[in-house]
Chains A and B, each alone.
Chain A
C-alpha cells in the first residue's frame, strides 16, 4: 500500500505571497492532520480534517487554512507569507482518528517551505 504523499517537496516563496500544499493520505485513510515543524518550536499541530470537515485546529493565525476533498486528499494554504513561516510542513493520515487507543498517524515526506 502506498504511503502518504505530499507535493511539492520543496518550495521557495517570497514574503507576502501565498502557497498551497497538497497531501494524499494512505488509501482508505479518512483523517488528515497537518503539522508545522521548525527547529525552535518543534512539531506543532495545525489542523485535522475528516470527511471534508475541519474537526480540530491548533493555535495558528487565520492565514493558515486547509480543506479536504471527497477522496480524502487535503490541501493547506498559507496566505501573506512571513519569514517565520519557513518550515517543514507535514501531513499525517489515519484510518479513523477518534478515541480509539490503537489509532496511529503516519507521516508523509513533508514539504519544505523557504520564505525569502
Chain B
C-alpha cells in the first residue's frame, strides 16, 4: 500500500512566523510531489509542486524535497491568518511507461496562524 503520511496537527504559529509542514511517502518510485491548501468547506487549491531534490521557492512558500529520505516539506514564511487552512501533501506515482498515474494524498495538516 503506497502511503503518504502527514502530522495531522493542529499546528499553531503566531502571525509573521515560519510554518513548517512535513510529509513522508513510501513509494520510492514517486515522481512528483504537490502541496494543496484546503480551506474549510472548500476544495483543494494547488500551491506548488516539486519533482527535483532540493528547494523550490514561490513567494512566501518554499517546498523542499529529499528523495533519499522520502521526505517533502512546505515552509510558509511570514505566516498570515489567511494561511489558516488544511495543507494536503500529494504524491504522483504510476508504472513507468504506463498510463495509470494517480495522486495519493496525505490526510492533511491543519495550520492555524494566530494574529
**Residues of A that sit less than 8 Å from B by CB:** 33, 35, 42-45, 48, 50, 55-56, 58, 88, 90, 92, 97-99, 101-110
Across the A-B interface, the 8 shortest Cβ-Cβ residue pairs:
A101-B51, A56-B100, A42-B107, A43-B105, A107-B43, A110-B43, A101-B32, A45-B102
Question: What are the residues of chain B within 8 A of A98 when measuring CB–CB?
Answer: 99, 101
The one of A48, A58, A88, A104 that contacts B49, using a Cβ cutoff of 8 Å: A104
**Residues of B that sit less than 8 Å from A by CB:** 31-32, 34, 36, 42-46, 49, 51-52, 88, 90, 92, 94, 96-97, 99-108
Q: List 15 A-B contacts (CB under 8 A).
A: A42-B106, A44-B105, A45-B104, A90-B43, A98-B99, A99-B31, A99-B96, A101-B31, A101-B51, A102-B32, A104-B49, A105-B46, A105-B103, A107-B45, A109-B43
Chief secondary structure at chain A's binding surface: strand
With A and B bound together, what is the CA distance between A103 and B108 in angstroms? Answer: 21
With A and B bound together, what is the CA distance between A87 and B52 in angstroms? Answer: 34
